[in-house]
Amino acid sequence: MLQKCWTNLSSIRLALILLLLLAAASLIGTLLPQGEKYAFYLSRFGPRLGRLIWWLGLSTVYQSPWFLALLGLLLVNLLVCSSRRLPDTLRRVKQPLQLERYQNLPARLEIHWPGKPTDPRPRLESCLRQVLGPIKVHPEGETQWYLIFRGRRGYLGPYLIHLSIVLIILGGLIGMIWGFQGHMLIAEGEAVNHLELPGHQESRPLDFSVQLNKFQVLSYPDGTPREYRSDLSFIQAGREVFKGISRVNEPLKFGGLTFYQASYQTVPAGPIRLNVCHGNLCTQLEVPWRTKVNLPGGEASVMILRIEKDFQGLGPALLMAYKNGPGHPAIFWVVQNPPADMEEQPGPHRFTLAEMRTRYASGLMVKKDPGVWWAYAGFILLLPGFWLAFFTPRQRWAVALQPDSQSGWRIQVYGSGVRNKEAFQRRLTRLQRRLEKGTGP
């Protein structure tokens, strides 16, 4: 039973099945929104399907126990597969070159050198080293054999690839188990000492506070954001211990965490007051941000969805949802300086902006990933593994030097290449040109 389990664990079939399952899980994790709260899935997919998604862990695929189990099983498969085959491969790499095997290689070339009194071995050996690499000399009577095995280390390429994949998987598992990722939204002048975790109701406290001293947005001439940055202070035990700037693609590190500039918002810096007119009756209302407010008379309601500090050069603006009677609410902008051709507001009510002060809030993604260096090591090791496995053709060469009856020397070349026949032929052509010159470089 143990032998059967060991054999199954090292099978390529199991590896292919695991890779297909992981690909399917990754597809689900790509198409299905990840890290949202429980209520999101209930409202979007309905009670039954939403509960099923949450119960199966499809809302957090990459942190779910079954996904980690698949990764762990693939890790075991790679380790067992490599441990079974690696000893034979090492013996093959270290195996001495045997003349009997090399004498049976296909004949490729025969060259005659004149001048028997002259010892041709130094110039021949120099030529072979230049074209074919390190040689092993094997004398046999009057014949001097030179044996060459190019690309022998290529046998180790698949094992380097296996090791790199193992390191990448280990890095991912370490990051999933001991790392985390969260988000914090900080308004200018305020400090936050906790993270909002995706897919969870609770937050994660920090042993320090992050204060946003200043937020800047630099825009292109058409108003599109070009760069935004956060000037941050890190406060511990009541005093500032570190200051730094976080930009897009320029994260900031502190306390073992990495802070990425992810987004920004415009938030109110005080009360938002609207002038509401219905016929000849006008009143002023204080409307909280993202809170439904009933208008006088109770027949209609409004909610402020979004705030802009400067909307297309028209000054401060509000994106509002207005509902009057049954049906879906109407969405429209209320700007401080409306142009003459601005679309008329729906419904019998008319809204103008009376007072609004704003400030920026920076959205930071915060991440701790202790396995990232394992993953980096795996990706770095992957390159030489691919090079050895796919771009290091294995070639066997045997060159025989012996005197001939024409007062000279006869050189016979034997060889074969496992892959990349073109590379083998090019090397054979180079060797023929060198030998026909009759002298080393």
Residues 358 and 421 in one domain: no
Residues 120 and 249 in one domain: no
The answer on pLDDT for 108 being more than 50 is yes
More confident residue, 406 or 142: 142
pTM over the 0.75 mark: no
| CA atoms of 177 and 47, how far apart (whole Å) | 30
The mean-pLDDT minimum among 124-128, 207-211, 390-394, 435-439 falls in 435-439
- Rounded to the nearest angstrom, the gap between the alpha carbon of residue 295 and the centroid of all alpha carbons in its chain is 50
**Residue 253 domain-assigned (yes or no):** yes
Residues 350 and 258 in one domain: yes
Percent of the chain surpassing pLDDT 90: 39
**Residue 46 domain-assigned (yes or no):** yes
Say if residues 78 and 385 touch (Cβ distance below 8 Å): no
Residue ranges with strand state E in 14-154 = 107-114, 136-140, 143-150
Please tell me whether residue 59 adopts helix, strand or coil conformation: helix
Q: Which tens digit of pLDDT belongs to each residue from 354-379?
A: 888 888 899 999 999 999 999 999 99
Q: Which helix (H) or strand (E) holds 21?
A: helix 12-31
Q: What residue has token string 């059967």?
A: 4
Q: What is the pLDDT of residue 116?
A: 65
Residues 234 and 349 in one domain: yes
Q: What is the pLDDT of residue 163?
A: 93
- Band of pLDDT at residue 142, cut at 50, 70 and 90: confident
Residue 319 in tokens: 């994106």
Q: What is the pLDDT of residue 439?
A: 46
More confident residue, 347 or 145: 145
The answer on pLDDT for 340 being more than 60 is yes
| CA atoms of 117 and 431, how far apart (whole Å) | 24
Q: Which tens digit of pLDDT belongs to each residue from 186-235?
A: 999 999 999 988 765 578 899 999 999 999 888 777 767 778 899 999 99
**Residue 166 domain-assigned (yes or no):** no
Closest CA to 332 of 309, 357, 349, 310: 349
Helix H segments across 247-304?
none
Stretch 329-337: mean pLDDT: 89
Residues 359 and 397 in one domain: no
Stretch 7-30: mean pLDDT: 88
Residues 207 and 354 in one domain: yes
Eight-class DSSP state of 289: B
- Band of pLDDT at residue 271, cut at 50, 70 and 90: confident
Q: List the beta bridge partners of residue 436.
A: none
Residues 132 and 220 in one domain: no
The dihedrals phi and psi of 19, each to the nearest 5 degrees, come to: -65, -40
End-to-end CA distance of the chain: 62
**Residue 291 domain-assigned (yes or no):** yes
Stretch 339-349: mean pLDDT: 83
Residue 293 in tokens: 């407010």
Residues 225 and 142 in one domain: no
- Band of pLDDT at residue 311, cut at 50, 70 and 90: confident
**Residue 114 domain-assigned (yes or no):** yes
Residues 311 and 351 in one domain: yes
Domain of residue 422: give its range.
Answer: 96-151+393-437
**Residue 45 domain-assigned (yes or no):** yes
The answer on pLDDT for 118 being more than 80 is no
Q: What is the pLDDT of residue 173?
A: 85
CATH of the domain at 102: 3.30.310
Stretch 383-390: mean pLDDT: 91
The answer on pLDDT for 352 being more than 70 is yes
The answer on pLDDT for 181 being more than 80 is yes
Q: Which helix (H) or strand (E) holds 423?
A: helix 421-437
- Write the CA distances from 359 to 3, 187, 196, 267, integer angstroms: 68, 7, 21, 6
Q: What is the pLDDT of residue 382?
A: 93
Secondary structure tally for the chain: helices H, strands E: 10, 20
Q: What is the pLDDT of residue 200?
A: 58
Instruction: Provide the sign of the torsion angle of the four alpha carbons 53, 55, 58, 59, taken in this order.
Output: positive
How many Cβ atoms are within 10 Å of 189's Cβ, its own excluded?
A: 12
- Band of pLDDT at residue 117, cut at 50, 70 and 90: low
Closest CA to 52 of 41, 60, 65: 41
Stretch 236-260: mean pLDDT: 92
**Residue 219 domain-assigned (yes or no):** yes
Eight-class DSSP state of 328: P
The residue type of 381 is L
**Residue 164 domain-assigned (yes or no):** no
- Band of pLDDT at residue 441, cut at 50, 70 and 90: very low
The answer on pLDDT for 319 being more than 80 is yes
Residue 36 in tokens: 């949202």
The mean-pLDDT minimum among 33-37, 116-120, 384-388 falls in 116-120
Residues 355 and 284 in one domain: yes
> Last residue of a domain, which of 92, 123, 140?
92
| CA atoms of 385 and 379, how far apart (whole Å) | 10
Q: List the beta bridge partners of residue 367.
A: 181, 258
Q: What is the pLDDT of residue 440?
A: 39
Pairing of strands 239-247, 225-236: antiparallel
Residues 335 and 306 in one domain: yes
Residues 210 and 134 in one domain: no
Stretch 62-72: mean pLDDT: 87
The count of structural domains within the chain is 3
